[in-house]
């Protein structure tokens, strides 16, 4: 199975990493990316595969039913891997409407279109994989066991509530109509191409730019971090070996407080500036270029409303059923991530200085 994939949200952080991973591993399979190119979408992240014969990029909205159905038919799609979403918790607090519309209605349009096309007549072999989050399970206390696939849903932000609703729709389309679905609920990802509003790239870039490093509340909230390529491998395993109708939790078994993550990144950059003399002239305002500690930029700020205290994933089901074990250690993953942002200044500079949209228009006519 799986010859023609539709990847929604493939110009976003995880979607782009997934497309690059998939093209490398299965070069003979065809991929269509459907992405609306919201503020978070960046076709430049897909530059490496842009001209491949098995790759197509379509700028469009998952809420556009006729477009989605046309793509399913024209490209003979048998597999949907659904990443497209509004993904940032802080934005969902300031403006929930778009989150409900994209994450709930958008997912429903995809499900309804898939049902119409794939289950027509005798039907065809197919798979709808839904990419979701550990945030649907709510917040853990310090000694609670990690989330399993059986943990009751208790979403706390408009973002996680919208993702929870989409998970339920996916489940319902399987139960009611027999759509062949799988869902994965993953913990916090980090790695290349992450939009610099999320903690790790934000901190990295703010250090280079001599900007404050905002720590919400006391900084002791805990997240379970997974290198993005390991998330992609996990989805691959679920697609190949996962049981239809099942949910799989993916995580790094790698819990860190925010404060410790920020201190770690500060220390790594201080070391890099010391060992690589060319960094000082490239980022002359960075504290490390002036002999100061990056950690001097740490600034405690007002907490995120409703801020979940702790997330942690129990990845046992994936381990025993699919043989899934993350490959990247946190030590190596975070080093790779620091290197990637240092080596791809042009990628993030255009976003940070606001020239990105104009540049996109010139490059891609979009």
Per CB under 6 A, residues contacting ligand NAD are 8-9, 11-15, 34-38, 40-41, 61-63, 83-87, 102, 106, 131, 133, 163, 186, 188-189, 195
Q: Using CB under 6 A, which residues numbered 67 to 96 contact ligand DAU? A: 87-89
Tell me the DSSP string of 145-194. PPB-TTSPP---SHHHHHHHHHHHHHHHHHHHH---EEEEEE-EEESTT-
Stretch that binds ligand DAU, among 133-141, 164-172, 276-284, 337-345 (CB under 6 A): 133-141
Closest CB to ligand NAD: residue number: 12
Exposure string for 306-315, b = 16+ CB within 10 A, e = fewer = eebebbbbbb
Q: Using CB under 6 A, which residues numbered 280 to 309 contact ligand DAU? A: 304
Given the structure tokens 């490398």, which residue do they identify?
24
Stretch that binds ligand DAU, among 30-38, 72-80, 145-153, 208-216 (CB under 6 A): 208-216
Known catalytic residue: 227? no
Q: Which is nearer to ligand NAD, 14 or 20 (CB)?
A: 14
What sign results for the dihedral spanned by CA atoms 275, 278, 281, 286? negative
Q: Which two tokens stand for residue 265?
A: 């990144």
- DSSP type of residue 102: I
Q: Using CB under 6 A, which residues numbered 171 to 200 contact ligand DAU? A: 187-188, 198-199
With H, G, I as helix, E, B as strand and everything else as coil, classify residue 253: coil
Residue from 193, 273, 311, 347 touching ligand DAU (CB under 6 A): that is 311
Q: Which is nearer to ligand DAU, 5 or 202 (CB)?
A: 202
Among 74, 33, 28, 75, which residue's Cα sits nearest to residue 53?
28
Known catalytic residue: 159? yes
- Name which of ligand DAU, ligand NAD, none residue 40 binds, using a CB cut-off of 5 to 8 Å depending on partner kind: ligand NAD
Is 60 a binding residue for ligand DAU by CB under 6 A? The answer is: no
With H, G, I as helix, E, B as strand and everything else as coil, classify residue 141: coil
Stretch that binds ligand DAU, among 55-63, 71-79, 130-138, 245-253 (CB under 6 A): 130-138
Question: Could you say which of 35, 137, 159, 167 is catalytic?
Answer: 159
Q: Which is nearer to ligand NAD, 107 or 286 (CB)?
A: 107
Q: Which is nearer to ligand NAD, 61 or 236 (CB)?
A: 61
Stretch that binds ligand DAU, among 52-60, 127-135, 264-272, 275-283 (CB under 6 A): 127-135
In the complex, minimum distance from the CB of residue 16 to ligand NAD, in angstroms, rounded to a whole number: 8
What sign results for the dihedral spanned by CA atoms 355, 205, 339, 42? negative
Q: Which is nearer to ligand NAD, 61 or 229 (CB)?
A: 61
With H, G, I as helix, E, B as strand and everything else as coil, classify residue 42: coil
Burial of 143 (0-12, 13-18, 19+ CB in 10 A): exposed
The residues with which 218 forms a beta bridge, in sequence order, are none
Do the beta carbons of residue 136 and residue 77 sit within 8 Å? no
- DSSP type of residue 296: G
- Name which of ligand NAD, ligand DAU, none residue 311 binds, using a CB cut-off of 5 to 8 Å depending on partner kind: ligand DAU
Binding mask 245-284 for ligand DAU (x = CB under 6 A): -------------x--------------------------
Compute the distance between CA of residue 227 and CA of residue 190 in angstroms, rounded to an integer.
5
Q: Is 157 left (phi over 0), alpha (psi -120 to 50) or beta?
A: beta
Known catalytic residue: 177? no
Question: Could you say which of 61, 135, 308, 328 is catalytic?
Answer: 135
Compute the distance between CA of residue 277 and CA of residue 290 in angstroms, rounded to an integer.
12
User: Which residues belong to the active site?
Assistant: 134-135, 159
Binding site for ligand DAU (CB under 6 A): 87-89, 133-135, 187-188, 198-199, 202, 214-216, 221, 223, 258, 304, 311
């Amino acid at each position: 199975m799986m010859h023609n994939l539709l990847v929604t949200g493939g110009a976003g952080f995880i979607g782009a990493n997934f497309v690059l991973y998939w093209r490398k591993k299965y070069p003979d399979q065809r991929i269509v990316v459907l992405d609306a190119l919201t503020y978070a979408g960046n076709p430049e992240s897909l530059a490496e595969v842009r001209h491949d014969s098995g790759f197509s990029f379509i700028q469009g909205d998952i809420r556009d039913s006729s477009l989605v159905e046309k793509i399913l038919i024209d490209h003979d799609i048998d597999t949907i891997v659904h990443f497209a979403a509004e993904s940032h918790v802080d934005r969902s607090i300031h403006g929930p409407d778009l989150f409900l519309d994209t994450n709930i209605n958008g997912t429903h349009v995809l499900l309804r279109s898939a049902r119409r096309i794939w289950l027509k007549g005798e039907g065809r072999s197919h798979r709808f994989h839904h990419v979701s989050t550990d945030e649907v399970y709510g917040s853990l206390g310090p000694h609670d066991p990690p989330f399993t696939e059986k943990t009751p849903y208790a979403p706390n932000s408009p973002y996680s509530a919208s993702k929870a609703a989409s998970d339920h729709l996916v489940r319902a389309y399987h139960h009611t109509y027999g759509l062949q679905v799988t869902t994965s609920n993953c913990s916090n990802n980090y790695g290349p191409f992450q939009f610099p509003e999320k903690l790790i790239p934000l901190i990295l870039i703010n250090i280079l730019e001599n900007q404050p490093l905002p720590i919400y509340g006391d900084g002791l909230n805990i997240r379970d971090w997974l290198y993005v390529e390991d998330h992609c491998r996990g989805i691959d395993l679920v697609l190949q070996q996962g049981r239809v109708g099942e949910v799989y939790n993916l995580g790094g078994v790698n819990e860190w407080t925010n404060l410790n993550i920020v201190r770690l990144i500060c220390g790594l950059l201080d070391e890099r500036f010391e060992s690589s003399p060319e960094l000082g002239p490239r980022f002359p305002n960075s504290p490390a270029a002036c002999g100061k500690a990056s950690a001097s930029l740490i600034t405690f700020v007002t907490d995120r409303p409703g801020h979940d205290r702790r997330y942690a994933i129990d990845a046992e089901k994936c381990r025993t059923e699919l043989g899934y074990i993350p490959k990247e250690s946190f030590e190596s993953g975070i080093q790779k991530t620091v290197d990637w942002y240092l080596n791809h200044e042009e990628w993030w500079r255009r976003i940070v200085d606001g020239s990105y949209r104009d540049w996109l228009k010139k490059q891609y006519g979009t």
